Amino acid sequence: MRSVNWLLTVGKAGRERTPVITVNNQFGVLRAVEQGLGIAVLPTYLIRSSGQLSIVLPEIAGPPFQIFFVYASELRGSVRVAALRDFLAEVLTTEALAA
The boundaries of the domain holding residue 73 are 66-99
CA–CA separation, 47 and 90 (whole Å): 21
Q: Do residues 54 and 10 both lie within one domain?
A: yes
Q: Do residues 75 and 43 both lie within one domain?
A: no
pLDDT at 99 over 70: no
CA–CA separation, 1 and 64 (whole Å): 9
Q: Model confidence over 7-45: pLDDT tens digits?
A: 777 776 767 777 778 888 999 999 999 999 888 888 888
CA–CA separation, 61 and 96 (whole Å): 15
- How many angstroms separate the Cα of 78 from the Cα of each of 71, 83, 90? 10, 9, 18
Q: Do residues 70 and 24 both lie within one domain?
A: no
Q: Check residue 95 and give its pLDDT.
A: 63
Q: Check residue 1 and give its pLDDT.
A: 46
Q: Which residue type is seen at 13?
A: A
Q: Quote the number of domains for the chain.
A: 2
Q: Do residues 50 and 94 both lie within one domain?
A: no
Tell me if 23 sits within 8 A of 34, measured CB to CB. Answer: no
Q: Do residues 57 and 73 both lie within one domain?
A: no
CA–CA separation, 48 and 55 (whole Å): 10
Q: Do residues 26 and 54 both lie within one domain?
A: yes
Which are the contacts of 96, defined by CB distance < 8 A and separation ≥ 6?
Answer: 90
Helix (H, G, I), strand (E, B) or coil at 48: helix
Q: What is the mean predicted confidence (pLDDT) over 62-78? A: 87
